[in-house]
Structure 1
Amino acid sequence: MRLDRLAVIGGNEWRMLWKDQAVVMLLIVTPAVMMGIMADGLAPVVRESFDAGASMSGADFAVPGFTVMFAFFMTGFMGNGFFLERGWGTWQRLRASSARSAEVLLGKTAPYAAVSTLQILLMLAFGWLVLDLHLRGSVAGLVLMIVAVVAVIMAIALFLVAHCGSSQQISALTNLVGIVGGVIGGAFLPVDSLPGWTQAVAYVTPQYWAVDGLSGVLGAGDGLADVVPNAAVLLGAAVVLIALSARRLSLTEQERVAA
């Protein structure tokens, strides 16, 4: 794997990503507004749902919840970025170049992973500076959760690229994963305040493990060991999704993927 190839591919993807102002609006501005509106109103529900009692603020749930919900929309931006390459004909040039599949995929994924990480950090900083967000738990646990959340988002995006035939399909599935998965997974309201059937389904959504881990380490004071299971589920899901996508994402298989 050559770093110069990674730099060229990644740099081009980075420039295309930041030209799209919708990224900033959807991933940063919108969740910040939602947090500000919902934080105080969620406080009574949050205190009933978590063991931290009166010490846990509404922002301790609203900030990680809305951060996670909107972070998953990065799957659509990343997936459509791959399909734009096909529309422009540049994907064929990449296939004809000496770049390996791993170099192309890593080069195209790394900028989105960086933006996703930045988005999460900005939302947490906004919650701490403007709202009543706390960090009562382990800093190492928080870092581990951020890495796990970004990893599963990137893996879902690659899975969609590998198995969808158009950007419209990716957009539709992104909305399904982001909105429905977020609501059922407890990103909008704590899971135990949702209808009974959704509580059973919540455990199969990555949002549940992400919100539970982040809100635990931020507001409830969980340590590193407490969030390791959450991170393990997310990282395990990422590995499985990448394994299911690897062959179809190979440059030599790309014509079959587009079919």
Structure 2
Amino acid sequence: MWHDSLPRTGILVRHNTAVLLHEPVPLIGRLVMPLMLLLALRPLYEAAQGPVGTGEEVVGSLVTFSLLAMSIVGAAIMSERDWRTWDRLRATPVRPLELLVGKALPVFGVLALQQAIVLGVGAAALGMPVAAPGLLVVACAAWGLALLGLGTAVGVTARSYQQLSAVYDIGAFVLTTLGGALVPLHTLPGWVRAVSPVSPGYWAAGALRHASAGDTGPALTAAAVLLGVAAASGALAAWRISRGWGRSPAR
């Protein structure tokens, strides 16, 4: 089975990578915008939080702008309906998991590059302390997989680009504000702190902060929660596809 699956998945990965790179300007923007935010808000974070402010800013910027990975993979799946290519894919031997991996893996590469650039600049140029680089890589990978799982689940659930956009707008608020990415949770109202653990962004910010500080136990716990989110959302997406999601709408 695997010797048939891997070539098909590889073809899908190459195709979706080519589609992603066909319009490189949005990708460049996703790499540049978090760096601009870092430079613009650094004085504010340092004035408010002192030496630890840089680390908080880097984590907040990374969590916030990595959310764009959700929209990329979700739109890539939705485009199959718009291009009326979904029925043709369903008629091939491609399995749901292969399709999801083919869509998500190129986006994961972009996300990994974004994480490397933001964390590299934060550590090398801005003085962000990184006590456990390996643990930080684990935290980044878990957050990336969670984002891709959520993005694919939304992509196969939404029925139009308008619905997709609305979900991402609301999701951005939930994942950043409720997650304590840009604003420390202790400064927010009590009800926000009480519900914040329902947000994957809460666990992402916690995983990155604990990994940077070298707190192995809390970092791995948060990473495990993110992997659970990735598994659950990915399973939902695969189930939706196996049930015949996305029949090309008649026009």
Is the TM value for this pair above 0.5?
yes
Aligned equivalent of 1:200: 194
- Kindly report which structure 2 residues correspond to 1:114-193, keeping only aligned pairs within 5 A, or say none: 114-136=109-131, 138-193=132-187
Other structure's SS at 1:58 match:
helix
Is contact 2:156-2:246 (8 Å) kept? no
Q: CA deviation at 1:107?
A: 1.3
CA distance in 2, matches of 1:101, 1:208: 30
Q: 1:162 to 1:257 in 2, by over 3 A?
A: farther
Pairs within 5 Å for 1:36-185: 36-46=39-49, 56-136=51-131, 138-185=132-179
CA distance in structure 1 between the aligned counterparts of 2:200 and 2:192, rounded to whole angstroms: 14
Deviation, structure 1 residue 256? 6.0
Q: Shift in Å at residue 85 of structure 1?
A: 1.9
1:148/1:231 contact within 8 Å kept: yes
SS at match of 2:52: coil
Relative to the length of structure 1, the TM-score reads 0.87
Q: Which residue of 2 aligns with 1:10?
A: 13
Q: Which amino acid aligns with 1:232?
A: A
Q: TM-score, normalised by structure 2?
A: 0.90
C-alpha separation in 1, matches of 2:240 and 2:171: 21
Question: Which residue is equivalent to 1:227?
Answer: 219
Amino acid corresponding to residue 114 of structure 1 in structure 2: G
The runs of 5 or more residues in structure 2 that have no matched partner are none
Task: Check whether the contact 1:57–1:132 (CA below 8 A) recurs between aligned residues.
Answer: no
Residue 51 of structure 1 is matched in structure 2 by none
Partner amino acid, structure 1, of 2:241: L
Structure 1 position 35, deviation (Å): 1.2
Aligned pair count reads: 246
Q: 1:70–1:178: 8 Å Cα contact kept in structure 2?
A: no
Asked if 1 retains the 8 angstrom alpha-carbon contact of 2:63 and 2:201, the reply is yes
Amino acid at match of 1:235: L
Q: Is the 8 A contact 2:87 2:248 kept in 1?
A: no
Structure 1 Cα separation of the partners of residues 109 and 27 of structure 2? 13
Indicate the percent of aligned positions where both proteins have the same amino acid: 29
CA RMSD in angstroms comes to 2.0
Cα deviation, residue 257, structure 1 = 9.5
Question: What amino acid maps onto 2:194 in structure 1?
Answer: A
Which residue identity is paired with 1:254?
Answer: W
Contact 1:165 1:257 in 2 (8 A): no
1:62 Cα deviation (Å)? 0.5
Whether the aligned pair in 2 keeps the contact of 1:79 and 1:167 (CA below 8 Å) is: no
| Contact persistence 2:200–2:226 (CA under 8 A) | yes
Instruction: Quote the Cα distance in structure 2 between the aligned partners of 1:257 and 1:212.
Output: 41
Q: CA deviation at 1:189?
A: 1.3
Read off the aligned partner of 2:232 and give its amino acid letter: V
